[in-house]
Structure 1
């Protein structure tokens, strides 16, 4: 998740000129020269699968141009060249030693006339807090869980395998999904190091699904899976110039995923196009007996969200725009006005609304709920895990024992404050949870109903900031994640344009299980705007 207003001062209240500075970060000349050479090499046009879509990959395999093994090998080579060396994005924490074996099996099935569906033979990267019963660890980026080999696939991983996908590897993340310190750097973990923004390497990729945002953007894969508690899919998707979908809590199972909050956590797809994200979203829905909230999705989920892909879907739609985000950074403002005019030109009616002002009422209570649920959920997970720690208390002690490696830049105040909380029967927890649900859901539902809206929109985030391991993140005054995160409602972000070489995302969200309608609107906007720009791995701002 992204550390939000419950930790920092309110995002709108803390706007300063320094918030939007886009100058160069400090960097040695040697690093600049290395990064410049690597960027030139990376963008020489030599990569065969650059900006390829799932439909193109399937066509390649159907025609015999590439096998799944060849595609998988190309991505493995790309990861080695771009992620581990070259610009050194550091978005992949480990590759799957069984990836080529899986790809071979999918090729044999295809040769025998069996194609499981649109994910058959497609390499996918998944965030390193999602269990895989294989040779890869599931660590949440922590060296305390570097040896945690899961005994069972997470539900969504089992669905991936059923769909014929190739598990390519695990992506780096903000350690413990950014729920460790009030001044952490997004994209940093003790096991994986710092993930870098592929557009400008000194800039931050946002988090906590940092690697899952960077990898598809940099063409290390076509698809990735992230997780979100509050902003952890939508922020890195926005800042890395891709599409991210945070589903309704309950549409995808959370069993086998290292938790923060059972009321807000969800995994979701991250891809370069709305179509590809919709394909992945479709494949992993389902009721899971080990995650009770998924029972609520029965009769509400769709087996194929691509049926909502309609380039004319904006016609007749009423869309609310968050009023407080109409003015902030002048270049973001210009992109927003251009976007609103485009939506109108495609038949949508735009209505100014106010949602974010109500979120301030629950910034403290959201943090309270997350601390209680994190302690409860993590203790349950660690008790069954194969790592060196079996409880949150053990983890805190481990980090102190190995402080030079586990906490070289920032500490663990959030872990410690969470450990100090009681259990889920606490009056403080129950009151905070009730307040969160009441305020967030009533606000969104009321705004939608009173204005007869199909969705609410606005800039997802502002431009990325310089990575700062000492002082931590410096989020801009934008941030449209909390309403959908706290309510558990769906949210999709699509590229809106560029500011000084950095991507800006545009968000649409609505009420529960409206993924189909949001995908339709987002797809129509994507097709009309075509704002996706591939990264060029610049060492500094240009």
Structure 2
């Protein structure tokens, strides 16, 4: 259609009534879901307008401007979802605290609609399943607006040891909103960056080992990896049924707790969730600013790295916890006896990747796509765009593994379960009479480098809770040269409510989350 030039029709304003200008979009930057819900309750704004505002921010910040590349796609019915929920609110039906709240999903989580679930790979670019993962169905039932899909480290960072976190062939490289040349960590890179940049107040990530907590820490937000088995994994592209879980990434612990209250629950299709209905609770109702009073917290001192600036932040956080009534207990030997844990975990992940990926691919409605890990390897070899930056050595190594009945796998599985649980977290809690463990989540974000890959050398608290399948929460602790650092709260199995409450108490007293600056380079 040919555009009309106003210069060619100077009398247009005289014969056409003046069109009313749409009202300006409301500010949403830095607002959590609880704040937005309060504004909707007070009729100051509605979900339709809030959703439109986030879509506008995605266009201006993600697709243009800083070009974060955090969001792969948005659902075309997002505003109609919001409009329907507004009509329900007007009719007096309020589904809960997520009613009308836009939420983004990591693009390995299926959702009904015309958008593919790709895991970042061109091999799944047409993977439109029209299925809601059970956690997505729960979010919809709770009134959330399913806004779109976020970028991720391709295949959740299990394709190569030489990868660059936050890159996928579908979505490109995600940028850290606190420093655009810095990495977002992975694999829930887009979920972390999008939440930090207020492209949605909440995103859902997934973790096998560090994939929620590291990008949350590096992007300066809250991230929660729940007990494995509390949230269904059905219709999520897998790595490992022993360690995979989905979880919330949010601006506040309260928002993470609100999401957990919705997505936790038993799924008959996922045997790991058999106890979930009996274990879940109202996590937001369990939050308290006094949650650390009388608690004994164990300090993972040998896992914080050797940077003095990070140690200073951590010591200040511990002092804050002590002021809130916690007893701080130093642990100098948390790694003792766990030397074989890494090798056992590696064997489990590769063996389960081969088996679980085949099961997932076979479940897809389309019957003309890849069916096995070998098919994915062949696809990548035939498509240069997939291997332009790094190889698929981990895929190829996984393909050499035996089945879930192989002796090497069974031995590794038993060893990892014993070392991470009874002889790991459980031992530390019991020996020192602790309620929970605390540590440093991450080091400063490193410069993204597609040629040489990741060079993350900072501390990490993720492995023990990841392998044990226990809850792990990260909360902003401060910054180093303007780059966010998180503090981790880790508990025993099914202590999700206690872990969230402890992190909430610290968060409310410390208030260390900072707004992103979208600069290039670090702060002086």
TM bucket (normalised to shorter chain) is over 0.9
Q: Contact 2:47–2:85 at 8 Å: present in 1 too?
A: yes
Q: Which residue of 2 aligns with 1:419?
A: 399
Q: Which residue of 2 aligns with 1:9?
A: none
Query: What is the distance in 1 between the residues matched to 2:343 and 2:292?
Result: 37
Rounded Cα–Cα distance in structure 2 between residues aligned with 1:453 and 1:204:
34
Contact 2:114 2:130 in 1 (8 A): no
Aligned to 2:117: 138
SS in 1 for 2:51: helix
Tell me how far apart the structure 1 counterparts of residues 257 and 353 of structure 2 sit (CA, whole Å): 29
Residue number among 44, 64, 78 corresponding to 2:57 in the alignment: 78
- Could you say which residue in structure 2 is the equivalent of 1:313? 291
1:436 aligns with 2:410: no
Q: Which residue of 2 aligns with 1:5?
A: none
Q: Which residue of 2 aligns with 1:179?
A: 158
1:394 aligns with 2:375: yes
Residue aligning to 2:22: none
Q: Distance in 2 between matches of 1:161 and 1:47?
A: 24
Alignment partner, residue 289 of structure 1: 268
How far apart, CA to CA, are the structure 2 residues paired with 1:324 and 1:198? 30
How far, CA to CA, are the matches of 1:477 and 1:490 in structure 2?
Answer: 21
Q: Give the Å deviation of 1:388.
A: 3.0
In the alignment, is residue 335 of structure 1 matched against residue 316 of structure 2?
no
Determine if the alignment matches structure 1 residue 154 to structure 2 residue 139.
Answer: no
Question: How far, CA to CA, are the matches of 1:518 and 1:479 in structure 2?
Answer: 18
- Bigger mean CA deviation after superposition, 51-60 or 72-81: 51-60
Instruction: State the alpha-carbon separation in 1 of the partners of residues 198 and 233 from structure 2.
Output: 27
RMSD: 1.3
Q: Quick check: which has more Rg, 1 or 2?
A: 2
- What residue is the counterpart of 1:219 in the other structure? 198
Per-residue CA distance 1:270-328 (angstroms, 9 max, x = gap): 000000110001111111000011002242211x1012211111111100001213551
Partner of 1:516: 497
Deviation track 1:226-261 (CA, whole Å, cap 9, x = no partner) reads 000000000000000000000000000000100000
Match of 1:490 in 2: 471
Q: Distance in 2 between matches of 1:300 and 1:520?
A: 16
Cα distance in structure 2, aligned partners of 1:200 and 1:314: 33
1:257 aligns with 2:243: no
Cα drift, residue 344 of structure 1: 1.1
1:169 maps to which of 148, 162, 169: 148
2:83 match = 104
Q: How far off is 1:357 after superposition?
A: 4.3
After TM superposition, where is structure 1 displaced by more than 6 Å over at least 4 residues in a row? none
Is the contact made by 2:305 and 2:458 (CA closer than 8 Å) also made in structure 1? Answer: no
Q: Secondary structure at the match of 2:340?
A: helix
Q: Distance in 1 between matches of 2:84 and 2:492?
A: 41
Displacement, 1:111? Answer: 1.2
Deviates more, 1:305-314 or 1:79-88: 305-314
**Which residue of 378, 383, 389 corresponds with 1:409?**
389
Moved more, 171-180 or 47-56: 47-56
For residues 540 and 452 of structure 1, the distance between their equivalents in structure 2, rounded to whole angstroms, comes to 44
Distance in 1 between the 2:149 and 2:305 partners?
Answer: 38
Larger RCO (CA under 8 A, 6+ residues apart): 1
Q: Is the 8 A contact 1:463 1:476 kept in 2?
A: no
User: Structure 2: which 5+ runs fail to align?
Assistant: 1-24
Structure 2: distance between partners of 1:520 and 1:358 = 30
Q: Is the CA contact (8 Å cut-off) linking 1:212 and 1:226 kept in structure 2?
A: yes
Q: Secondary structure at the match of 1:456?
A: strand
- The alignment covers a number of residue pairs equal to 496
| Aligned partner (choices 362, 365, 382) of residue 361 of structure 2 | 382
CA positional deviation for 1:392: 1.0
1:324 and 2:302 correspond: yes
In structure 1, runs of 5+ residues without a counterpart are 1-45
* 1:47 Cα deviation after fit: 6.7
